[in-house]
Amino acid sequence: MPGRLDTAQPYAVAFFRIVTALLFACHGAASLFGVLGGARGGGTLPAGSWPGWYAAAVQLVAGVLVMTGLATRAAAFFASGSMAYAYFTVHQPGALWPLQNGGEPAAMFCWAFLLLVFTGPGAFAADRLLTARAGARRSGHRPETAVA
């Protein structure tokens, strides 16, 4: 049975990547543009305010990059680091445990993106499609399907 599960691994990683990054990007969009309920229950963060506005920009940009599978490992590394910073500077001083300090989302996003740094994007990644097309151009062949 492990053989069958192993063949589905790139697709499971891809769905994990897409859903996690979509949720992450939604946090950034809410804070920057006031959509989906806005920042902290309404409105937007003032442009350039530290650290909130920059965190929201990282959430939106890194979330979109990871979701589409463009520069996944680098974007996931940056996203993971930003969430580690958020956890230790904003949440952890309030209490030791994430359940007590409200830092569960930051901790979960940090570890989820760190996992993607090591697993890569899985299937359905734009990087794989671009790599397949570039390789086909170099070899003179047209790719018939994207590499999963």
∠ CA 40-42-45, nearest 5°, is 70
Q: Write down the pLDDT at residue 35.
A: 86
The model's pTM is: 0.84
pLDDT band for position 147 (50/70/90)? low
Domain ranges of the chain: 2-139
Tokens matching residue 10: 């790139």
pLDDT band for position 128 (50/70/90)? confident
> Region 74-96: what's the mean pLDDT?
96
Tokens matching residue 96: 């030791």
